[in-house]
Amino acid sequence: MIHDGLRVVVLTTRLSGAYGAKLLADLGADVVTWEPAGGDPQRADGLDGDFHAYLHTSQRSITGDPAPWI
């Protein structure tokens, strides 16, 4: 893939960041999405279910300190 070996740590909780991360994951990047302690706010905004799963396919999700992943 185009971005094999590239790690992207997503620190935003905005929809635009989730979509950008999805595009990079689709191109082969290792995408790690940070979620605040209460979980991804997008889930509370009605993006849970199929759309949330679509945006976060092929990504890992972490909580806590994202520094070890950077």
pLDDT 10s digits, 6-36: 999 999 988 899 999 999 999 999 999 998 8
- Dist CA 3 CA 12 (whole Å): 21
* Token pair of 27 as six digits: 């191109």
- Dist CA 17 CA 32 (whole Å): 12
Is 5 or 43 the better-scoring residue by pLDDT? 5
| Confidence band of 46 (pLDDT split at 50, 70, 90) | low
**Alpha carbon separation from 12 to 1, 2, 4, 27 (Å, rounded):** 25, 23, 22, 20
User: What pLDDT was estimated at residue 52?
Assistant: 81
User: What pLDDT was estimated at residue 70?
Assistant: 87
- Dist CA 23 CA 18 (whole Å): 9
- Dist CA 19 CA 33 (whole Å): 12
